[in-house]
C-alpha cells in the first residue's frame, strides 16, 4: 500500500473527526444563527451589560464536539505511531537517506 | 543523494497533496472558513437586510494603512449596505461548496485585509485572528482548495473550462 491510499483507520478517523468538527461548528452554528438572537455563541447583552438572550445551544456542548474531534485525531495519531503505514518505497532510495557510520 | 537544504521537501519527505489526509484537511479548512463568512453575512442579512451600516466603520479607518481605500468605499453607503452582507454570504457559500474558490478567496482576502487593518487588534502582537483568517484565504488560493471534495473539481473538467484554461485561476 502506498501512502496515498486511505485504509480503514484513516477513513474512520476522517469521518468521525470531520463529522464532529462540522457538527460542532457548522451544523449547530446554523441552528444558532437561524434561531434568532444571539446568532453567535455568546449571550446578547444590553447597553448596561445585562444578558438579555442566551444561545439556544450551550457553547460548552459545541466546544465539547470540537474537542472530541481533536481527541479522535489524537487517538488516530497514536494508532498510526503504533501501526505505521507500509510505504511502497524501494530499498535503494531508503539507503540514501540513512546516516553513514 | 545530497541533501537539498534550499528545498527540503525534495529530500526524504514528500508533501503529499494527493494523499488522503492533505486533501481531506484542505477541504475541511475550506468548509469551515466558508461557514465563518456565511455566518457573518447571513447574520447581517437576517438582522439588517440589505441596509448593513458599514460606512461608519470604513470612515473610521482614515489614517490607517488602508485609509484611502476604506474612505473611498465609505462614500457609497447604500451600495455597501447590500454588498457587505451579500458578499460575505457569497464568498462563504463559494468556499463551502467549492465553487469559484479562488475568486471567492480573492474577495475574502480583501475583506480580511480591511478587518485586519481596521480592527487593529494588536494587543497580543501582529499575528491575530484577523491575520490568520487572511492567511487562510490565501491558503485556499495557493492550494486551489475547491478541487478537493469541491464542485470546482467537476467544473474544471467541463469542456467550457477546458477550452478556456485561464478560468482555472478563478476556479480551483
Reduced to 3 states (helix: H, G, I; strand: E, B; else coil), residue B148 is coil
Shortest Cα distance, chain A CAs vs residue B160, angstroms: 30
Task: Flag whether residue B12 sits within 8 Å of chain A, measured between CB atoms.
Answer: yes
- pTM (predicted TM-score): 0.82
pLDDT at A101 over 50: no
Contact B28 A18 (CB under 8 A): yes
Residues of B in contact with A96 (CB under 8 A): 1
**pLDDT (tens digit per residue) in B18-33:** 678 999 999 999 999 9
pLDDT of residue B109: 95
Are B133 and B112 in contact by the 8 Å Cβ rule? The answer is yes
Contact A14 B20 (CB under 8 A): yes
Residues 62-91 of A with CB under 8 A from B: none
Contact B16 A21 (CB under 8 A): no
A97, three cell numbers: 537517506
Residues of A in contact with B4 (CB under 8 A): none
Contact B24 A14 (CB under 8 A): yes
- CA–CA distance, A73 with A17 (Å, rounded to integer): 6
Shortest Cα distance, chain B CAs vs residue A32, angstroms: 10
Q: How confident is the model at residue B16 (pLDDT cuts 50, 70, 90)?
A: low
B145, three cell numbers: 482548495
pLDDT at A93 over 50: no
Contact B1 A33 (CB under 8 A): no
Q: Which residue has the higher pLDDT, B82 or A99?
A: B82
- CA–CA distance, B87 with B74 (Å, rounded to integer): 16
ipTM of the complex: 0.74
**pLDDT (tens digit per residue) in A38-75:** 988 888 888 888 888 889 999 999 999 999 999 999 99
Count the helices and strands in chain B (H runs, E runs).
8, 0
- CA–CA distance, B110 with B137 (Å, rounded to integer): 10
Residues of B in contact with A3 (CB under 8 A): 14, 16, 19
Task: Flag whether residue B28 sits within 8 Å of chain A, measured between CB atoms.
Answer: yes
Amino acid at each position: 500500500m502506498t501512502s496515498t491510499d486511505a485504509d480503514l483507520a484513516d477513513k474512520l478517523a476522517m469521518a468521525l473527526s470531520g463529522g464532529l468538527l462540522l457538527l460542532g461548528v457548522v451544523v449547530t452554528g446554523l441552528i444558532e444563527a437561524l434561531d434568532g438572537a444571539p446568532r453567535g455563541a455568546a449571550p446578547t447583552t444590553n447597553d448596561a451589560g445585562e444578558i438579555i438572550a442566551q444561545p439556544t445551544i450551550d457553547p460548552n456542548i459545541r466546544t465539547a464536539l470540537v474537542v472530541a474531534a481533536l481527541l479522535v485525531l489524537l487517538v488516530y495519531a497514536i494508532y498510526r505511531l503504533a501501526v505505521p503505514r507500509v510505504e511502497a518505497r524501494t530499498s535503494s532510495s531508503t539507503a540514501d537517506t540513512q546516516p553513514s557510520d | 543523494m545530497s541533501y537539498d537544504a534550499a528545498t527540503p521537501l525534495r529530500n526524504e519527505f514528500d508533501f503529499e497533496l494527493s494523499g488522503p489526509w492533505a486533501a481531506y484537511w484542505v477541504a475541511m479548512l475550506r468548509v469551515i472558513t466558508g461557514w465563518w463568512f456565511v455566518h457573518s453575512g447571513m447574520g447581517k442579512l437576517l438582522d439588517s437586510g440589505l441596509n448593513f451600516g458599514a460606512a461608519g466603520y470604513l470612515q473610521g479607518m482614515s489614517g490607517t494603512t488602508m485609509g484611502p481605500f476604506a474612505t473611498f468605499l465609505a462614500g457609497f453607503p447604500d451600495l455597501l449596505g447590500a454588498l457587505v452582507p451579500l458578499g460575505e454570504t457569497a464568498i462563504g457559500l463559494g468556499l463551502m461548496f467549492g465553487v469559484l474558490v479562488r475568486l471567492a478567496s480573492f474577495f475574502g482576502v480583501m475583506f480580511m485585509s480591511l478587518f485586519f487593518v481596521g480592527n487593529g487588534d494588536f494587543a497580543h502582537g501582529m499575528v491575530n485572528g484577523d491575520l490568520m483568517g487572511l492567511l487562510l484565504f490565501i491558503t485556499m488560493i495557493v492550494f486551489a482548495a475547491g478541487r478537493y471534495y469541491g464542485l470546482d473539481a467537476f467544473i474544471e473538467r467541463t469542456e467550457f473550462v477546458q477550452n478556456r484554461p485561464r478560468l482555472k485561476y478563478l476556479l480551483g
